[in-house]
Structure 1
Amino acid sequence: MSTDESPDFALSLATEYGGAAVTEVAAAAPPDRRDEVRRYADELAADITELLLPAGPPRWRQLYLTCSATVTTVTADAVFITETGDSAQVAVPATVTELIQLLRTVTVALQDRAWWLVELRRDRDGATVSEFGYGDVPFPPSLLQPAAAYRADLARFPRERLPVWLAAYLAVEDGRLRLADLLTRAHLDRETPAIPVEFLDPRLVWARWATVAAAAVVAESDWGPRIIGSAAAFESTDGSGSTLHLLPGGRAVLSGGTWDAPELDAAYNDGAPMPEYYGGLPDWVDAPVLNHRAVAGLLSFCYWWDGTGWYRGQSPGPARIGAAIPGMWTPDTVTGIVCAVLGDSTSRSAVADLVAAAESGTVTRDTARAAFGGADSTAVAAGFTQLALAGLTR
């Protein structure tokens, strides 16, 4: 089909070609016609949200429609936010999911690839905004489709390189990266030596991690570090993260992954050998004390402390894992992060006192209150609880 034969190029993509051959005609949308595709996509997005409005509650302010899609599957969640800030989830009819597939088909022409995630936001005044996710950053687990759906999608819309998270997801589902097999092999290997690694004493790591966690709780952040029993967890907004497990006998395990680890990218997309992250692993390091990325094929570092020093297999050095752990290299680093989290009104000297008290395990309520003074009492109490749970209070 010549683009000149149709007065509406975007519509012709959807109705005449559908999804079956859209990759063949996507290149036929030259720059001067892509504006036409974009206009049609904007109108279609508005039509999709329009179908949900009858189900909205009175005095709604915004509508959020989040859809995860492949050529074979679509899941969608629609939530209205009212003027009072309440939320109301509504059912998404089949007509909406069908139009989502249509929106996906026509917008291939804009990026020469298909998106897997879209969020449509509609305000009360009628404006609709579309944000498409092409997988450049990991999707939340709740938005993942079955592996078979992504394989079918990649057969329809091939890519030269896969996002690391998706390549790992497919490899794990194929049984190519079973954590139990990797750990068994590492535990039976008596020839590969562990590599000593220069890193902070785990007691300092724990204290500083807990201090940043307390600040994140006070600031009511959904992201960042937390203390969970004898483990410290961290999740960043870009998909990187880690856990620190304290074990009996003064031992510890720090593991996690950066979302764009070059070693994983090379292994999944270029066929390079997967690094032996568990090389030299002692018997006491096993699945329960590893970050959840180990199960998902996304672990890119694993350190263990045996009571005298840190060790690793073929994990990168500490300078390469910064995105996956809280900032904790020095007391000043921690102080600066806490101040940034809590805002300009925070007393830097009070925060520095809190960091010092955490490192010595002598935090008091007064110390915490002085550092978190700008927050309400409930938030301060919640932050203090993180420090108490970490065993750093007096």
Structure 2
Amino acid sequence: MTATEDQTEAGPPPPDAASRRIADLLIGLGPRPCGGIHAIFVLTVAAELASIVATDEQRQQVQILASEEIMDLVRVHREASAVRADGPWWRYLLVVSESGEVRTDYDFGEQPFPDEHLFPAEVYRADLEAFPRPRLPVWLAAHIGHADRQSRPADMAASAEQVAASVTDELPALPLLAARWAVLSAAFVAVGSPWGPRVLPALGLFEGIERSGSSLWIMPGDRAVLSGGVWNDPVLDAVYNSEAPMPDLYAGAPAWVANATLNPRAGIGLLSFCYWWDDGRWYRAPGHAAGDIAAAVPGIWSEESAAAIVAALMADEPDAHTREAALGLVRAADRGEVGRGLLASIFGEGAIDDAYLQLTMAGVSTPRSP
């Protein structure tokens, strides 16, 4: 959310008189004495919801139901914001402190809405008819207009016309990519970080802190699919906001490149790239270079890039010894020979079992000694 406004009881009337009036009505509905109110209003012309919670004198939360008078004021308040170049707000936060101070914040969709505040696509289409906008955030434009254009059901994949796919050296060979993915996963787990990549049997997952991410499915027969999305991808921005054609990320892909092996972004129209590994090589659709996908993939590009991330997890300012230890760990993973002792010598015994399991599931650990 953006555009905060702090108001106090002293001085001239606040510039946003509507918010002050809404706050006064909420205070009238809240407990006495009131320890504060937190309200979120989510509106379009076709659907709306309000979530209002107050705190009572025992510091317990009390739900408040918005009156029709309050909702009428909120609707008028939203309509007044339609004079902005980017259209009216979609979410409106109003916080009343215990002393009666009011703070407001407005959400124009720069970041995805929480699932509980996201309406069906047709609701936003109706709102855009009433309040046209020059462009939409990529995530919202995809929610409204992806029309399953990135979906690849198994039957469609099996019947797809076979065209020549492009061989690419844009990625490390699969065994090295998978090993580095695993060692980075283990490092993040070892330091107790909720971020970073993770490994499951036959699956690598990565969600970056800036909403880019990818998945790596590894299948029998030396086959794999790496796909994902880059946050605010300019190619997808052009698709949804400038009516550019949707790139065919699957041209030349075999039948096993299908929804079951694709990153979930394909289901919401936010997939930016798709590679598949077959017969010892990486492939992608011809004529479609993925561009800069580094934000959506862990640092698997080289021994050095992976080791730099491991070293940064080991110390805020890694010295030469730390960097050498990190490089040794990555090289051991590349060989498929990471022992539990090596991992413990670097990260200690804290979360070492969970970290070592990441390596075991990826097949790059050595058997544990009795």
Q: TM-score, normalised by structure 1?
A: 0.73
Aligned 1:191-270 pairs, distance under 5 A? 192-198=163-169, 199-270=171-242
How far apart are the structure 1 equivalents of 2:97 and 2:344?
A: 40
Cα distance 1:118–1:326, how it changes in 2: closer, same or farther (>3 A)?
A: farther
CA contact (8 A) 1:275 1:314 kept: no
Corresponding residue number in structure 1 for 2:340: 365
Cα distance 1:350–1:279, how it changes in 2: closer, same or farther (>3 A)?
A: same
Corresponding residue number in structure 1 for 2:130: 156
Corresponding residue number in structure 2 for 1:11: none
Root mean square deviation of aligned Cα: 3.8
Question: Which letter maps to 2:139?
Answer: W
Corresponding residue number in structure 2 for 1:170: 144
| Post-superposition CA distance 1:257-297 (Å, at most 9, x none) | 11222222222222222111110011221110001111111
| Post-superposition CA distance 1:228-279 (Å, at most 9, x none) | 3211111123332110100101111001111222222222222222111110
Question: Which letter maps to 2:140?
Answer: L
How far off its partner does 1:329 sit? 1.5
Question: Which letter maps to 1:358?
Answer: A
Cα distance 1:334–1:153, how it changes in 2: closer, same or farther (>3 A)?
A: same
- Give the percent of matched residue pairs that are identical in Structure 1 and Structure 2: 38
Match of 1:284 among 256, 277, 282: 256
Cα distance 1:145–1:392, how it changes in 2: closer, same or farther (>3 A)?
A: same
CA contact (8 A) 2:164 2:286 kept: no
Question: Which letter maps to 1:147?
Answer: A
CA contact (8 A) 2:300 2:306 kept: yes
CA contact (8 A) 1:74 1:97 kept: no
How far apart are the structure 2 equivalents of 1:331 and 1:113?
A: 47
CA contact (8 A) 2:203 2:218 kept: yes
Corresponding residue number in structure 2 for 1:135: 109
CA contact (8 A) 1:76 1:92 kept: no
3-state DSSP of counterpart to 1:298: coil
How far apart are the structure 1 equivalents of 2:299 and 2:96?
A: 37
3-state DSSP of counterpart to 1:244: strand
Aligned 1:306-345 pairs, distance under 5 A? 306-314=278-286, 316-317=288-289, 319-341=291-313, 343-344=315-316
Matched residue pairs, number?
346
Q: TM-score, normalised by structure 2?
A: 0.77
Pair 1:389-2:361 in alignment: yes
Mark the runs of 5 or more structure 1 residues left unpaired by the alignment: 1-34, 82-86
3-state DSSP of counterpart to 1:295: helix
Cα distance 1:318–1:154, how it changes in 2: closer, same or farther (>3 A)?
A: closer
How far apart are the structure 2 equivalents of 1:393 and 1:70?
A: 53
Cα distance 1:161–1:214, how it changes in 2: closer, same or farther (>3 A)?
A: same
Question: Which letter maps to 1:244?
Answer: L
Cα distance 1:38–1:111, how it changes in 2: closer, same or farther (>3 A)?
A: farther
Higher relative contact order (CA 8 A, sep 6+): 2
